[in-house]
Structure 1
Amino acid sequence: MAEQTGPAEVAARLRTERFGILPPRILPDDVIELVDTRRPDQHPATALSLEHERALHTAA
């Protein structure tokens, strides 16, 4: 007898044919941070210089 497949199996087979086999998933615990993006005062770094950032906060 022919094997019956549902829509999920057909979609999975088509996805595998289109993209191939995916590499294993990267888990958050597998990531190592190489660059510290925090400033010494523990606030996130911005693209602005400290003087421009202060000007934005004081200009209202």
Structure 2
Amino acid sequence: MTSDELLGTVLGIAIVVLLIAVILAAMFYRPTPHKKTRSRTTFTHGIDDASVDGDGSRGE
């Protein structure tokens, strides 16, 4: 066995092992769900409900 054959065999085995590892990782990888950020509408809900002295709104 020459060095070229040995190098080809080692590279071939490495590629096969890498391919199997990628396939197994893709099968068992479960992405974590992202936290939903609060939207602007729910964040400001209720802020403008109360009147403040001098803001021009009529708090009757």
The TM-score bracket by the shorter chain reads: under 0.3
Instruction: Specify which structure has the higher proportion of helix.
Output: 2
Asked which structure has the greater CA Rg, the reply is 2
